[in-house]
Structure 1
């Protein structure tokens, strides 16, 4: 006898309706949870907007005639130091004898490196950044960690490009980088009256290239007001060495110290026509009194090298 075919069991009448009722019930349970999540997300975003609003307004809306210029692009400054009261917030941070600031302030100088050194260090930045570049307005190159902006992400250039890096950077490039870092370290030590040997380099330390391209990620929004000591924790001193000239190479992009009543700005300067020196260095303590930001750059790009030197573990020293 031929085997008989058996069809699939017949579903009881009304099972489809029962299934629809179960789905409807599940949706009714999920709905309040989804609404709660949406409201929670909206509340968090709203709170962030409220907190960030005053800072952003102070920074982005500060071109109203009340900004004091601490250093004009046409000046040549062998050294200018403005001492400010240390914030009480700094007392809550861990302190290191011989390294933690004894006084707080802001230093500006045009005599850290020579014109030749500035041209060569800028060339290093350009070679590295040519391997990638952000889709937004701010590109980062960190020779210590290997971090490089590529599109909307970061890659480790030493892993990503492998042996090709040896044809991009030479040993002379890395030696120059170390030499410039030591000069910046000495400048900070002298300005703040501490021993150079007590300062150690922490991270991140990087080159940045900023232009007027619309921001694509949060990393591109460089203009937000912030305090480095709060943002990074390990920083006691921050130094920025500019490799481009304000109004010649770019517009906007000025460094701004934010204070009650009036913001104070520094016009970046690289080329020194008179004495062969180049590279305006802006340094300061991160003691809660140095809330700062950068103006948005509406014109041509700028490049600066950002250094953070602090008392930290030798694993971060380069």
Structure 2
């Protein structure tokens, strides 16, 4: 009987043939794992970029829920005024009929102070602050009291530098400062319907220079929300005169009126005057300056003659 032909025997489970098939399967597994790793790396990179964008967007002020720009840098405003209900902050202070705010609000104008005047005032600020300056991001120069930021402290520039001051500033500098203050005072009086003579300049009134340097003292943390009437009881009306331009001289640093879900911002522009009643109806803050240098003057007024100060004199 002829022998039967048999098929090739199956490889045993642990035979060499089975072993030879395993490297191919393992290679596919490695390729798959490597593909997953690449995909995860790309996904992580994208997530990181999204997070960085969100953080940057937040640093530009969106954490305040800014909904409206009250004054754009590129606008030239003859006058813009928004009336808001007065807070009760004035009730705890002596009231002066015809001056203590009954009409409260905030205004912006670009036609009271010229850009040339603002440039000259900025030069005055730069000359004075060149004598000192804070170690942190915010420096102050007060020509009335003589207060000047110096490192982590303040000095009285009139006592500290003595007669040298007359080689830094000129009589024309002080006259310009007084003229500008008077223009701002008249603007506030007209906007709120009060007599100019009812308002008195009060302290602190000062130049400020802010850059992106790290804060060194509590004074450097200028970005916290606050109420002027709470911080300085003498304040009834506050004004800010900007001496540099947002997005040209510095980034960040916008002024923000804090309102739940609908904050209003003022973008600084050289020569722009922003003014407002000083109570809680105008809770506000300044955004952190991200680059460049922001110059401004804070000029405050009171209805109480007991808290008045004189214009600085060149002597």
Q: TM-score range by the shorter chain?
A: 0.7 to 0.9
- Aligned pairs for 1:299-318 (under 5 A) are 299-311=291-303, 312-313=305-306, 316-318=309-311
Displacement of 1:62:
3.8
Question: 1: distance between equivalents of 2:87 and 2:69?
Answer: 23
- Aligned pairs for 1:112-123 (under 5 A) are 112-123=112-123
RMSD: 1.7
Question: 2: distance between equivalents of 1:315 and 1:243?
Answer: 25
Displacement of 1:310:
1.2
SS at match of 1:306: strand
Partner of 2:218: 218
Asked if 1 retains the 8 angstrom alpha-carbon contact of 2:86 and 2:102, the reply is no
Question: 1: distance between equivalents of 2:292 and 2:59?
Answer: 20
Asked if 2 retains the 8 angstrom alpha-carbon contact of 1:59 and 1:224, the reply is no
1:141–1:66 Cα change, 3 Å: closer
Displacement of 1:209:
0.3
Question: 1: distance between equivalents of 2:62 and 2:267?
Answer: 15
2:273 aligned with 1:284? no
Displacement of 1:98:
2.1
| Unaligned stretches of 5+ residues in structure 1 | 1-57, 271-278
Asked if 1 retains the 8 angstrom alpha-carbon contact of 2:144 and 2:310, the reply is no
Asked if 1 retains the 8 angstrom alpha-carbon contact of 2:65 and 2:263, the reply is no
Question: 2: distance between equivalents of 1:206 and 1:237?
Answer: 15
- Aligned pairs for 1:190-201 (under 5 A) are 190-201=190-201
Asked if 1 retains the 8 angstrom alpha-carbon contact of 2:65 and 2:262, the reply is no
Partner of 2:179: 179
1:240–1:66 Cα change, 3 Å: closer
2:217 aligned with 1:188? no
Q: Which has the larger radius of gyration?
A: 2
SS at match of 2:144: coil
1:107–1:265 Cα change, 3 Å: same
| Unaligned stretches of 5+ residues in structure 2 | 1-57
2:159 aligned with 1:159? yes
Partner of 2:202: 202
| Alignment size in residue pairs | 253
Displacement of 1:315:
5.2
Displacement of 1:293:
0.2
Partner of 1:150: 150
Question: 1: distance between equivalents of 2:60 and 2:123?
Answer: 31
Displacement of 1:151:
0.6
TM-score (norm 2): 0.77
SS at match of 1:205: strand
Question: 1: distance between equivalents of 2:140 and 2:221?
Answer: 12
Partner of 2:71: 71
Question: 2: distance between equivalents of 1:207 and 1:126?
Answer: 9
Question: 1: distance between equivalents of 2:213 and 2:169?
Answer: 27
